[in-house]
Structure 1
Amino acid sequence: MRVLQVVSLVSPKGEYGGPTRVALAQCRALREAGHDVVLAAGSWGYDAMPSEVEGVRVRLFRAVAPVPGSFHGLSSPGLVSFVARAARRADAVHVHLARDLVTLPAALATHLGRQPYVLQTHGMVVPSGNPLARPLDLTMTRRVLRGAGRVFYLTDAERRGLQEVASPLRLEHLRNGIDLPPATPLPSAAGSAPQVLFLARVQARKRPLDFVEMAVRLAPRYPEVVFRMVGPDEGLGQEVRDAISRSGLGDRLVWEGPLPPHQTSAAMRAADIYVLPSVDEPYPMTVLEAMSLGRPVVVTDSCGLAPIVERRAAGSVTPPGAAGVAMAVDRLLSDPSLRTQSGGNARAAIRDELGMEPVVAQLERSYNHLTRTS
């Protein structure tokens, strides 16, 4: 089957978020299942556009924004033109839809070309108070949602939000899955100093300042531990730099900025504990990645993955805020055997419940339904 997937942005600096990570994982798994898969995306940061990213065949097109380096107003006319042509040759088109000027026009071009398509919205198309949302919804969003053969949602809240934006819709629940990489022991088990990692965008919802405050609270008790932050600045960079400077922890608390995608796995492997202090996080792929590598995770109780982390004893679930996060990390740092056991439980949860095989089977069923009814 020829599958064209579409996502907003691929960048060599790792500045893309969960939807792109999901798309890359799906494309790899579909290719391994024998399908002919291409991922089309807007892009910035490449000197020369690659033909492959993380083992996935890609077609990348320059993305532009009114404010350089900002995602707001992002568009990619070249991508839209390509999708309009390529959709005619595909058996199924799968658009990872955002309320933006990259994927919305691409989905609309597919719709106008009467080609079968599915949408996956990743919580990005829900009721919004942004003044630009209404005109976009009137001209594009509702039209492409209603025309989709399937609209995949992740959580009940997302389903309700989609139904508020447009109805009727052909809705179907689809969870995110992740590949199970080779197992590696925790670095501290081999004698290295324990490392606590924050790997996420530096923005308000991710609560990076809670991570900094957690490090300040725990550093005196654990003088050998390193607290590492990785991720692009999306609004709180200066506040994080100032807080790190005030901490006086020097090289024990660092923010490195973004990493290229191929280096994020190495960052996870170098850590003993992965911490995501964010609130209202529907289904963070970084948490799944850490769990797949056998790293215990610390998340807040508003995270969509909190129930499985708690049920599988894969780390710790805490109320939002630096105090709760510090207590959770303290428990894991103080007990090496608990770290090891929690990491093993995390990896087992991915293997047993959150792998890619059932996701691919569901996508195949949906794609086949498109081809039969088109």
Structure 2
Amino acid sequence: MRVLHVVTLHTPTHAFGGPTRVALNLTRELRARGEQAVVLALGDGFEGPLPRTVDGVPVKLFRARHVLPRFEVSGITSPALLARAWSFIRSADLVHVHLMRDLVTLPFALLALRAGRPLVLQTHGMVDPTEKPVARLVDTLGTRRVLRKADAVLYLTERERRETAAVVAPEPIAPSFRLVNGVRPQQWLPHRRASASGGPPTVLYLARIQEGKRPQDFVAAMPAVLARHPGARFVLAGPDTGALAGTLELAERLGVAGSLEHLGALDGPEVFDRLRRADVFVLPSVQDAFSVSVLEAMSVGTPVVVTATTGLAPDIERAGAGRVVAGVPDGDNGPLIGRAVLELLEPAAHEKASQAAWQLVRDGFTIDAVTDALLEIYRRVGAPGGPASSPAD
């Protein structure tokens, strides 16, 4: 089966985050099953030729043109890509679009409908009701149509399903299926942690450094933790997408900059090395639908602290895989996060949460199980089975 995964953007620092990582992970697993899958996206921030593979996954990247800079990611496209869109779609057996209101994924979804190809949409929490005039115009011009006419719409959480359906209401949305994110199971190595050896603990933030993920709450939690663990180290890792300067300034104002290490973007083995060395992983985001970073942290047995509004919060709370704090979208959640981190640094609580985190991923969020579910959805929407040639070069 020839599967074309269409996602908006890939950069050297993975600045677009979750949707691209999900597309790459699913494509890798589909190819391991004998399917011919490829990722199609814009490439931005590269010096020299655009890569043809990312983490071993075949990709077809076209250099991004910032035609509407005011709209950031939604305002980039590639005339060369759009000129070849029809041939890419016609050479695929199924088109899987990681949809947002933009100038790449929405045109591909519309063209797939026109070509009569099975169309699967995955919104990653990016398409929800809005009062923004331009977004509402885009919905009128195309978003509602593809959400109604697609063969399947994939959602991560019940909240995402309701919000996506509300975009097309009162008309019905296309058949919807839950598909969670998944990661590869990892080895649990609790003996490597500082908390197990009596050394100073390490607290890690590893995600895009942007306002919506609330890295300032990570820093605001530092004073409470340092009061009890003066030698604690806080590691801030991830590409800067607008919030780094303010986050570092806050650390200076709070007098904790000396305990904060900023690493920038990490990739490949570096990510899991840092996750394994951390005692607690913190992602204060109040808007993540289903963070892959949180899943990766739990896959190596690192307890996590998240807010109640993130998609994984119910699973984490139910399993005891970390701590869930209430979280206020525009408030100071630092003290709540600090208390949660301190709880998880207690040896007994840490060991219990570590094993629960590792087990939670193995029981419900492996990429193998996710790929099984995805292939079943593909079959239900009428995609042909069996290996085939790759989509057009």
TM-score where L is the length of structure 1: 0.92
Q: CA deviation at 1:227?
A: 0.5
Other-structure match for 2:344: 332
| RMSD across aligned positions (CA) | 2.2
Q: Cα deviations across residues 102-156 of structure 1 (Å, max 9, x unaligned)?
A: 2111212222222221111111111112221122112121222222111111222
Other-structure match for 1:49: 50
Other-structure match for 1:187: 193
Other-structure match for 2:153: 151
> Any residues of structure 2 matched to 1:68-217 within 5 Å, and which?
70-166=72-168, 167-168=171-172, 169-185=174-190, 186-188=192-194, 189=196, 193-217=200-224
Partner Cα distance (2:52, 2:100) in 1: 24
Alignment CA distance shift 1:279-1:14 (3 Å): same
Other-structure match for 2:297: 290
Is 1:187–1:271's contact at 8 Å kept on the other side of the alignment? yes
TM-score where L is the length of structure 2: 0.88
Partner Cα distance (1:181, 1:207) in 2: 28
Q: CA deviation at 1:193?
A: 3.8
Q: CA deviation at 1:360?
A: 1.5
Q: Does 1:223 align with 2:230?
A: yes
> Any residues of structure 2 matched to 1:347-358 within 5 Å, and which?
347-358=358-369
Q: Cα deviations across residues 284-317 of structure 1 (Å, max 9, x unaligned)?
A: 1111111111111011222221121122111111
The count of aligned residue pairs is 372
Helix, strand or coil at the partner of 2:65? coil
Partner Cα distance (1:192, 1:15) in 2: 33
Of residues 271, 274, 292, the one that matches 1:267 is 274
Partner Cα distance (1:61, 1:14) in 2: 16
Is 1:212–1:244's contact at 8 Å kept on the other side of the alignment? yes
Alignment CA distance shift 1:372-1:294 (3 Å): closer
Q: CA deviation at 1:357?
A: 2.7
Other-structure match for 1:346: 357
Partner Cα distance (2:73, 2:96) in 1: 21
**Higher normalized contact order (CA 8 Å, seq sep 6+, divided by chain length):** 2
Is 1:83–1:110's contact at 8 Å kept on the other side of the alignment? no
Helix, strand or coil at the partner of 2:378? helix
Q: CA deviation at 1:325?
A: 0.7
Other-structure match for 1:359: 370
Partner Cα distance (1:54, 1:258) in 2: 15
Partner Cα distance (2:94, 2:308) in 1: 37
Is 2:297–2:304's contact at 8 Å kept on the other side of the alignment? yes
Q: Cα deviations across residues 17-40 of structure 1 (Å, max 9, x unaligned)?
A: 211121122112212222111111
Helix, strand or coil at the partner of 1:241? helix
Listed as ranges, the gaps of 5+ residues in structure 1 are none
Sequence identity of aligned pairs in percent? 41
Helix, strand or coil at the partner of 2:235? strand
Alignment CA distance shift 1:289-1:69 (3 Å): farther
Partner Cα distance (1:198, 1:142) in 2: 36
Runs of 4+ in 1 over 4 A off after TM superposition: none
Partner Cα distance (1:181, 1:154) in 2: 22
Partner Cα distance (1:201, 1:372) in 2: 35
Helix, strand or coil at the partner of 1:198? strand
Listed as ranges, the gaps of 5+ residues in structure 2 are 328-332, 385-393
